[in-house]
Amino acid sequence: MKNYELITLDDKMYRCRRIEIKTWGCCLIASTLLLKKLINSQNNYYSEEAQYIDEQIFFFIPPSYYRHSDKKLAHLIQKSL
């Protein structure tokens, strides 16, 4: 079962997902669309709130990855680390 959470930033809601990743445990995964709203082109946070949100997220994924099962998503992330 996919475990989704919502994060609100600047009055917009972003869907995130909690998954189990071997050796890392339960991790919060978010879309790269959210990442673009947290960090600017100079790699600085837009705000303290943006930094706080970023520090809660283990990994950012392309939006199309949300369709994958938890197991497949965990495998893709582990390959990227």
Q: How far apart are alpha carbons 77 and 71 in whole angstroms?
A: 10
pLDDT for the residue numbered 3: 84
pLDDT for the residue numbered 77: 95
* Low-confidence residues in the chain, pLDDT < 70: 1
Tokens at 66, concatenated: 């949300």
What is the value of pTM for the model shown?
0.89
CA distance readout (Å), 20 to 44, 46, 52, 73, 75: 29, 29, 22, 10, 10
pLDDT for the residue numbered 69: 94
Q: Are 6 and 16 in contact (CB under 8 A)?
A: yes
Q: Tell me the pLDDT tens digit for each residue of 62-76.
A: 999 999 999 999 999
Beta strands in the chain (DSSP E): 3-9, 12-21, 25-31, 59-61
